[in-house]
Structure 1
Amino acid sequence: MDETKVLVLAELYWPQGGGAELATHLILKKLQKTGKFQITVLTGVKNVEKVDGIKYIYTPHLKPRPKPLLWLFVDYMCRTKYFRKLLKEHDVVYIPRIAYPAIPHVKKSGKVVVHLHNYQPVTYHSVYSSIDENLNNPIKFEELEHQSIMRSIAVGFLRGINNLVKYWLLQADKIVCVSRKQKEILVKHIPELAKKVEVISNPPPEVPSIEKIVQNPPVFLYASGDSYVKGFTMVLRAIFALEKRRTRAKFILIGKYSDKTLAILNKLHSMIKYVEVKYKGRMEHTELLKLHREAWGLLFPSILEEPLPYTVIESMVARTLPIASKVGGVPEIVEGTKAEEYMF
């Protein structure tokens, strides 16, 4: 039986990016192992974690840039002789990020599958919240998340072009959502896509065997930086609540934190006695996984409808209890486990 030839269009590729890029990497690895696919990845980054047997091609056309510019470059790329030649050599085009302008070009001669890891078809800024619907307005989102007037003005002018995403996706052969909740939200806003959508959960992460050494006081991980929408303010409230109760605990903060936040954290150290707060900043993924060895719990207080957060999946695999908000695909991850009792 002939191999199915798949062309992947990915602006970012693991270890660049986050959960979506990790999912793409793991999916392609599983497909490659079947021996039924011949895979080529066209990407905008040079340093990628390669899978044996998969061909990787760098192109500056897919270099990550602001969405309107990226979409212009993707459209231009699709009109080049080189890309048209690639299309003729492949049976299916797989789009795991937002290279959507390629869809109408591909459909002239082939099939296209889009894998959604966010809510780009629904909102220009690609996130969605049922907890605070103000965040579904990109202008309000920029104001709350980035405190940037210039970004708010920019998205105010640009958000209308997101209507193109619906036009592009309606031409796709299949659309993959990673959770039932993500599909529910997508179809609620764009019902015309219902017949094209299938729910396929992302493959579990490859977490090395971790020997748990949990001690007192309990250690809690928080890996989402000082993001408002990821719930950083809730973490701060939890720290102060435990301090007020004179409960000993240790919090390890991972991710990106602004200078302003770091100044607050430094001041915090002089104000608390019972709770220890350690700042780790950005870390390699493998180093982050090692922290699960001593962790009792993972804090995931996001107020966004996270499609299927790998942070929570990795926590479950590492036997670290996720203490998470009941958003997006989180209930589907912890369904039938003790962790259900700790959702809020």
Structure 2
Amino acid sequence: MNVLILSEKLWPEGSGGELATYLYAKLLIENDINVKVIISSTSNYFKAWSELPIYKIPVIGYSKYTVVPMFKKLRELFKWSDVVYCADFFHAIPLIKKVFKKPVVIHVHSYFPACPVGSLYNLKENSICKLDNKNCSECIWYYERAYMKPFPQASISMLLNSTIGRSFLNFVTLTDALVFVSNAQRNLFLEHTSSLRHKSYVIYNPLPDILHIPIEGDDVGYFGGLNPLKGFPLLMKAWLKVFPRHKARIHATMLKGLSNSEQLKSIGIIPYGRLNERFYENIYKKVKVVSVPSIWQEPVSYVVIEALLRGRLLVASKVGGIPEIANGLKGALLVNPNDADALAEALDLALSMDKSEAVELGLKNRENVLKRFNNFKSAEELIRVFERVTS
């Protein structure tokens, strides 16, 4: 079987969706599937892997608002494929279906295109978007400004996403199958487009090959950056209740523009920008607890998975697909979202554990996650979807 993957970026660019796409590409090749990948980002950024053919295509525009010129090589790749597996480029689906007559499977890593910005969360009202109460333009504007986007950029995003962005859902109706990463994600997505239920599947993302790192410190790790949906303001509010009782600090990454903030450092929050792998692992050694205070219904979280595989205690919001990963783990404390008091209490409890207890629970976290999820099974289920749409 020949599988053509469409992805704007590929790991280590991007985030969890790009990582999952990369891991699936490797697993498919290991299962004797012929794989080729089309991207639009800078391919020389990727780690060299000779078995994965990557083709960079020129596009006109930015992000999902692009035009893809149909040059000769691209036509050859579509003709070569038996199935097209889309992590991005949803606007190409009508062309793939009607011109090249190829089955299309899309992997939904957020809530796009049910929501033009992929969140289905109204930041202004701090609530999940309801089908009968959508005000996309106001919501998008509030989201972009909360993300500290400049006025012109926020204005363009509001204009495009509240108009053209809402049309992408029409393209998805043409697909042969949709793959979701958690049951919670699929259920919420399909509340906004129930007609797609009959061709929807849930397949848990593959686990990355992550080694256990011994705990050397008593600190907290936060790896969500400034994205307002990731809950950094909520964590700060909770931390002010916890900080006076503990000597611990928070190591917070992806805080671009705040890495020299003396105000954060004064309350024990050590901000970093984007870190290379070696520096990141050095930070992890200092961390006993990882906090994931997300306020939206996060489809799944590789930050959660990494924390558990690294053998860390977890304090996270009980949202989206996170409980499907961490429910029942003694070393994982799940709290209601947007509840600073509950988050502070959970952080206080985790930080109060002595090192031996934290190490023991962390190792059990790792052991249980490795038992719950199986990369071979995930790849097998995805191949089965490909076989269904090509039969």
Q: Which residue of 2 aligns with 1:162?
A: 165
List gaps (5 residues or longer) in structure 1. none
Q: TM-score, normalised by structure 2?
A: 0.76
Q: Which residue of 2 aligns with 1:237?
A: 237
CA distance in 2, matches of 1:55, 1:15: 16
Q: Which residue of 2 aligns with 1:205?
A: 208
CA distance in 2, matches of 1:41, 1:299: 34
Q: Which residue of 2 aligns with 1:325?
A: 317
Alpha carbon RMSD of aligned pairs, Å?
2.3
Give the deviation of 1:154 after TM superposition: 2.1
CA distance in 2, matches of 1:81, 1:149: 40
Change (3 A) 1:194 1:339: farther
After alignment, is 122-131 or 316-325 more displaced?
A: 122-131
Q: How does 1:275-290 map to 2 (within 5 A)?
A: 276-285=268-277, 287-290=279-282
Q: Which residue of 2 aligns with 1:124?
A: 116
CA deviation profile, 1:47-72 (whole Å, cap 9, x unmatched) = 223444221111122x882432x2xx
Q: How does 1:1-344 map to 2 (within 5 A)?
A: 4-35=1-32, 37-44=33-40, 45-47=42-44, 48-61=46-59, 65-68=62-65, 70=66, 73-74=67-68, 77=69, 79-97=70-88, 99-108=89-98, 109-129=101-121, 132-133=126-127, 137-146=139-148, 148-158=150-160, 159-210=162-213, 212-215=214-217, 218-243=218-243, 245-258=244-257, 261-262=258-259, 265-269=261-265, 271-272=266-267, 276-285=268-277, 287-344=279-336
Q: Structure 1: which 4+ aligned runs deviate by more than 6 Å?
A: none
Change (3 A) 1:34 1:67: closer
CA distance in 1, matches of 2:154, 2:26: 39
Any idea what SS the aligned residue of 1:338 has? coil
AA partner of residue 54 (structure 1): L
CA distance in 1, matches of 2:13, 2:149: 25
Percent identity over paired residues: 28
CA distance in 2, matches of 1:334, 1:232: 21
State whether residues 212 and 309 of structure 2, in contact with CA within 8 Å, keep that contact through their aligned partners in structure 1: no
AA partner of residue 60 (structure 1): P
AA partner of residue 236 (structure 1): M
Any idea what SS the aligned residue of 1:283 has? coil
Any idea what SS the aligned residue of 2:26 has? helix
CA distance in 2, matches of 1:166, 1:342: 33
CA distance in 2, matches of 1:64, 1:289: 36
Give the deviation of 1:130 after TM superposition: 7.2
After alignment, is 183-192 or 134-143 more displaced?
A: 134-143
Give the deviation of 1:19 after TM superposition: 0.9
AA partner of residue 54 (structure 2): Y
State whether residues 182 and 329 of structure 1, in contact with CA within 8 Å, keep that contact through their aligned partners in structure 2: yes
CA deviation profile, 1:76-114 (whole Å, cap 9, x unmatched) = x3x4343222211110111112x0122112213211110
CA distance in 2, matches of 1:113, 1:325: 31
State whether residues 121 and 186 of structure 1, in contact with CA within 8 Å, keep that contact through their aligned partners in structure 2: no
State whether residues 8 and 39 of structure 2, in contact with CA within 8 Å, keep that contact through their aligned partners in structure 1: yes
CA distance in 2, matches of 1:52, 1:306: 33
